[in-house]
Chain A
Amino acid sequence: MSVSDQHGDDHTLAGEYVLGTLSPSERQAVEARLTHDAALQDAVMSWEERFAPYTALATPVAPSAFLWPRIQRSLNAQTPAHHPQKAMPERRRLFNSLPLWRGVAGLGLAAALVMAIMLARPPAPATPEYMVVLLAPQAQSAGWVVQASSRQRIQLIPLGTFEVPEGKALEFWTKADDWQAPVSLGLVAPGEPVSIDLEALPPLEDNQLFELTLEEASGSATGLPTGPIEFIGRAVEI
């Protein structure tokens, strides 16, 4: 069925690679060859140049406000020598004792159960003013919910379990739009609900960012998030 002439073969292959129509295994094979095959590299680059103007057919999309900070954090994590920020003062690290959190009673509840409870009746003290759903960036699935019954006290509620790798811990952070840097709210144990006092911080505000990052077992040494973001979300006034 295939009647391509010998010389045209690699050029067509390179063209299909650039178009994106090769199967995953064919793509892998081309990428493997590209590491050492200069002629194929040139063929691919020629196609990239030919098609490049048509990237303009895709309408630009404004990135969300936290994409660049996230890139910057990953950049800082890669190149500690270039780390420009100063560590957060120790007193702002409100909770950093993992054993403390482990001591908090309660097992992880199934997502459906938590949602059912939350939808059925507002939690005891008062109707929450703010709510945050923390999503896993990769899976876009909800992992945790933050509820604020006042602007000074929040509850972090797990919707499922999370496998923390050996020697690592989940660290909880928040940052309002006009803050310079995120502030640590301490380490949290997966699957366990936690209440956190925000007394030392300005009152919770709309759109305030919350995230859980994977850090060393003792928490981020710099006082700023350094590890990958596992869950992220913003406060919504309700």
Chain B
Amino acid sequence: MTDVTHEFDHAAVLERCARGEHDALHQLYQQEGGALLGVVFRIVKDRGMAEDIVHDACLNIWQRAASFDPAKGSARTWIFSVARHLALNAIRYRDREINVDHSDPAQFEHDETFQHALRIEEAFDWQTGQRMDTCLQALETERRNCILHAYVDGLSHAEIAEHTGAPLGTVKAWIKRSLQRLRECMA
């Protein structure tokens, strides 16, 4: 129990949370608080909002710890997915309130400013040494960028289109097909 950094047992901590041990949540926070805040901040891009979401995520993890099933996946993945989805919900619902309706592809496809030559440099230093790397590698750079802009930056289809200069319809199709190819590759 002396070295928690290398062998932190996320599943055991969730189990203790499920039993009502506050200390377990504190240990989890000490271990992953910075990483969770980093992931959430990257998505919501607002420090105060990011801390609110990590606060909510911790309470969510605490309340739902008993529902975590180690047979279905890793505890660390589950913990991060709770925080990520809170962040995604927060920005999607916020943007729906203050922004134009992003669901109208025509508006973007007919806008010539999006027809620029595509920037296709790598947008991310993305290699993590996991098996998924090989599958991402097999995608064209611009498609890989779309996937990572969505997953890491939390960008919507329209924001990715704006960011990369690709038409909205193309971005949507690229992401769909990339997901299909990634799944085949990982099968």
Contact = CB atoms under 8 A, between A and B. Distances in A.
Interface of A: 1-2, 4, 8, 11-12, 15-16, 18-21, 23-24, 27, 41-42, 45, 48-64, 67-68, 70-72, 74-75, 78-79, 82, 84, 135, 137-138, 140
B154 interface: yes
Interface stretch (B1-9, B26-34, B113-121): B26-34
A63 B54 contact: yes
A110 to B, nearest CB: 23
Given A52-B74, A57-B128, 13 more contacts: A8-B183, A11-B183, A20-B154, A21-B150, A48-B81, A54-B148, A61-B38, A61-B47, A61-B50, A63-B51, A67-B33, A67-B37, A75-B59
A49 B73 contact: yes
22 contacts: A2-B176, A4-B176, A15-B183, A18-B81, A19-B179, A20-B154, A23-B102, A24-B92, A24-B93, A27-B88, A48-B73, A49-B74, A50-B182, A51-B132, A61-B34, A74-B55, A74-B59, A75-B22, A75-B59, A79-B20, A135-B48, A140-B46
Closest CB pairs A-B (n = 8): A15-B179, A60-B34, A58-B42, A60-B38, A53-B128, A19-B150, A53-B130, A20-B88
Contacts of B12: none
B60 to A, nearest CB: 11
Given A63-B51, A63-B54, A75 B38 contact: no
Contacts of B43: 20
B59 A63 contact: no
Interface in B23-75: 25-26, 29, 33-35, 37-39, 41-43, 46-52, 54-55, 58-59, 62-63, 72-74
B166 interface: no
Contact of B148 (A57, A71, A79): A57
Contacts of B84: 20, 55
Given A54-B128, A67-B55, A78-B59, A62 B176 contact: no
A95 to B, nearest CB: 28
B89 to A, nearest CB: 7
A12 B147 CA distance: 13
B52 A138 contact: yes
Nearest to A42: B72
B157 A53 contact: no
B156 A21 contact: yes
Contacts of B51: 63-64, 67, 137
Contacts of B92: 20, 23-24, 27
B175 A21 contact: yes
B107 interface: no
A2 to B, nearest CB: 8
